[in-house]
Amino acid sequence: MATINENYLKLKAGYLFPEIARRVNAFAQANPAAQIIKLGIGDVTEPLPQACRQAMIHAVHDMGDRATFQGYGPEQGYPWLREKIAAQDFQARGCDISADEIFISDGSKCDTGNILDIFGSNNAIAVTDPVYPVYVDTNVMAGHTGPANEQGEYEGLVYLPINAENNFTAAPPSQKVDLIYLCFPNNPTGAVATKAQLQEWVNYARENQAIIFFDAAYEAFITDPDIPHSIYEIEGAQDCAIEFRSFSKNAGFTGTRCALTVVPKTLTAQTQAGAAVDLWKLWNRRQSTKFNGVSYIVQRGAEAVYSPEGQAQIQDLVRFYLENAKIIRDQLTTAGLQVYGGVNAPYVWVKTPNALSSWDFFDKLLHNCHVVGTPGSGFGAAGEGYFRISAFNSRDNVNQAMKRIISKL
């Protein structure tokens, strides 16, 4: 008889966002007239930039002509896209990242899970709490943890609480860890990290021969010129960090799928016997074996992001969602709630009123306001008593949602 990967049985519940969808669907079926506004999952609502659409249309025509037709592309991504990313996203900010250190993929969510393929099962792993659930769940699935306790914390993970007292930016742990997940601008809290704070992490990683997994999926929303967009703006980071980025939120590619991972060629880890191994070679082999690349049409659309027209259009998109975040932040603050984030990030992190639990506040907003957000406890034990509201929606929906919430508080 076939057997299963029993690590999946250690997962405490359904993945956070499917559970939200289950509750919303049940409410919608019972209340078909309710006009539900979804500010929960971070899915975009505005159309793809025109420059990207035109590039994709042109690429479709390429596929209809034998002379320009494209079959299998390079698993690492087409050079013309990787070169533009290297030049405009990294080298323009003083980061010594080359095109061949960039790997194009179908999502940073996928990559932050898939990266575990090239690491062993005996690493000590640190995550912030609250945390983007994918970081934890994929380690559980890979067998890197023990069972969870009553708070949902998994044996074998080092949890670093982030809260209002530390401005939602944890300091390095006192004990030694090998793999570190950092996300800035942070999902779910909307916090950002200064150069000094990131330098502290890089110094720790180098001293302990650790690897930082740096999720920069929301870097386009940084407006403060003193806040770094990339971990590679920090001295020494190329020796200890892998960076993940996405076109999902800045260019609206959530339904189109394109992202990238940066693995510097200077990055190494060790075998059990202590021999140094180049991580770039392992990731390149992993991608070549288990991934067939992102489609030519989508990559042409992503390339258009780096045109002058594309740059202007994605800046308009980012500005639009940041204005939504400001409305949410300002309205809820005026209503007397404690609010964090929403300045250099598209997420607003709210302290639940009247000591309500995260899921109780979720149900209250859904049933009384017909508004969907994300319960903070779904991001970890330290997220209990908080609630995430996403700025990814139309202006009308954001304004209407704030009116509903404020009227029911």
Give the span between the Cα atoms of 24 and 30, in whole angstroms: 10
Task: For residue 8, say whether it is annotated as part of any ligand binding site.
Answer: no
Distance CA 390, CA 398 (A): 9
Residue 72 known to bind ligand:
yes
Residue 108 annotated as binding site: yes
Determine whether the annotation assigns residue 135 to a binding site. no
- DSSP-derived 3-state class of residue 311: helix
DSSP 369-393: I-EE-EEGGGG-GGGTTEEEEE--S
Q: Any binding-site annotation on 218? A: yes
| Residue 204 assigned to a binding site | no
Please tell me the distance from the alpha carbon of residue 40 to that of residue 328, in angstroms, as a whole number.
13
> Can you tell me the distance from the alpha carbon of 366 to that of 364, in angstroms, rounded to the nearest whole number?
5
The C-alpha atoms of residue 222 and residue 116 are separated, in whole angstroms, by 28
User: Does 78 belong to an annotated binding site?
Assistant: no
d(C-alpha 289, C-alpha 111), whole Å: 15
CB 203 within 8 A of CB 356: no
**R_g of the chain, CA atoms, integer Å:** 21
- Residue 300 known to bind ligand: no
Residue keyed to tokens 């390339």: 303
Alpha-carbon torsion (95, 246, 207, 203), positive or negative: positive
Ligand-binding site membership of 53 (annotated): no
109 is in an annotated binding site: yes
174 belongs to an annotated ligand binding site? no
Q: Is 292 annotated as a binding residue?
A: yes
Strands 211-215 and 241-246: parallel
Q: How many CB atoms lie within 10 A of CB 342?
A: 26
Using alpha carbons only, give the angle 85, 43, 167 rounded to the nearest 5 degrees: 80
Residue list, annotated binding site for substrate:
15, 42, 109, 132, 187, 292, 388
Q: Mark the binding-site residues for pyridoxal 5'-phosphate, compressed into ranges.
A: 72, 108-109, 132, 187, 218, 246-248, 257, 292
Q: Residues comprising the binding site?
A: 15, 42, 72, 108-109, 132, 187, 218, 246-248, 257, 292, 388
